[in-house]
Amino acid sequence: MTIDLTLDAIKIPALPYYEPPFGTKKLSGGLTTEEVNANIIAGFVRQRPVIITENSSTASGKQVEYNCSLVLNAASLLVEVGAAAYAGCTCKVMFPYGGQFKYTGKTGLVTDTLRAGACVVYMWMGSWWEAQIGKCAIGDVLMQMPDVDAPGLIYGGQWEQHDYGGMFFRSAGGNAKAFTAPIAGSFTSGTVFAASAALSAGVAAGDLVIAGSEYRTISSISGQNITIDSAFSNFSNITNLLIGQYNTLKKHAHSYNGSLVSTNTTGTGNYQPSATSWSATNSNMDVGRAINTQSTGDQETRPNNITLKPWLRLA
């Protein structure tokens, strides 16, 4: 079905030397009483949503010429709209039964798939449509819990799953350590990081250093210069690190069945318990099991854990 989101229905009298910005200019004569009444009503009609019950699109070459609302009033519908006539034009799309909305995004043609009950406002930015997601700006990250839909299904727009390389996450509160900001500074060489703030006296060789999804180990400390065992792959672009006990990334030893098994200081040698012993051949710890944790000067409680999905908004 073709949906008309233009203002072509508004009739303009055949005034000489006048070219209207929208509407349809008559070839001759003025407006009839019926046409005048239709023009008056047209503005109010376009305040009401367009009810769509089948796959639909705007006609080729026709623009969206007014702030419109669309209701996809059946399941599994696909609606496609073309460009708008002016920057700031909005298209509010409601998905009572879910559905898909196809449009020109900043990087090309995009199809958003929305869950039932979603409502998204798209704004024409001059040459592309962009989903307006409240205060969630492009570049923001939202966290998806296991029993919640991905943000693209709820808000529309373009998202990618932000990769933290399987890093262990823990929500703030309870027995979790304080949420602390990264240490600012810069690498003076591939393995030496010059911190801009004094480090805690508790930081020691063997503590962890994390940048993104990469782990390293502190090999030595001299004043505010921290030397790590090997360079990060993109060390020249790193300005913030999570470092050792300053950010509560302490080294610690694990015990299983009452016996000390391994001291993990690199983040790459985690061990997974089997029924009766630890297996050094597995690289991921089974954090769902109850284990005792020994540590250097602090307490840590490690409950059952869940996986979260950080989503980065792209457009």
For residue 220, name the pLDDT band (cuts at 50, 70, 90): confident
pLDDT mean over 77-97:
96
The DSSP call for residue 64 is B
Residues 161 and 307 in one domain: yes
**Average pLDDT of every residue of the chain:** 77
Number of domains in the chain: 4
Q: Is 50 exceeded by the pLDDT of residue 52?
A: yes
How far apart, in whole angstroms, are the C-alpha atoms of residue 267 and residue 57? 52
Q: What is the pLDDT of residue 210?
A: 79
Give the strand order in the sheet containing 309-313. Answer: 141-144, 309-313, 159-161
Domain for residue 47, yes or no? yes
Residues 88 and 125 in one domain: yes
From 203, 227, 247, the end of a domain falls on 247
Residues 281 and 228 in one domain: no
Q: Tens of pLDDT along 179-205?
A: 566 777 788 888 888 876 656 555 677
* Structural domain that includes position 144: 138-169+302-315
Weakest mean pLDDT among 59-73, 130-144, 275-289: 275-289
For residue 20, name the pLDDT band (cuts at 50, 70, 90): very high
Q: How many percent of the chain have pLDDT more than 70? A: 70
Q: What is the pLDDT of residue 256?
A: 42
Contact 273, 290 (CB under 8 A): no
How far apart, in whole angstroms, are the C-alpha atoms of residue 72 and residue 95? 5
Better-predicted residue by pLDDT, 257 or 285: 257
Q: What is the pLDDT of residue 260?
A: 40
For residue 305, name the pLDDT band (cuts at 50, 70, 90): low
Q: What is the pLDDT of residue 308?
A: 73
185 CA to centre of own chain: 27
Work out the burial of residue 268: count CB atoms within 10 Å of its CB; fewer than 13 is exposed, 13-18 middle, 19 or more buried. Answer: exposed
pLDDT mean over 116-124:
92
Contact 51, 96 (CB under 8 A): no
Residues 152 and 213 in one domain: no
Q: What is the pLDDT of residue 189?
A: 85
Residues 224 and 266 in one domain: no
pLDDT mean over 1-21:
94
pLDDT mean over 250-278:
40
Q: What is the pLDDT of residue 199?
A: 63
Residues 151 and 193 in one domain: no
Q: What is the pLDDT of residue 173?
A: 66
Work out the burial of residue 237: count CB atoms within 10 Å of its CB; fewer than 13 is exposed, 13-18 middle, 19 or more buried. Answer: exposed
From 208, 223, 247, the end of a domain falls on 247
Q: Is 50 exceeded by the pLDDT of residue 87?
A: yes
Better-predicted residue by pLDDT, 315 or 102: 102
How far apart, in whole angstroms, are the C-alpha atoms of residue 307 and residue 255? 24
Residues 193 and 157 in one domain: no
Segment holding 93, helix H or strand E:
strand 90-95
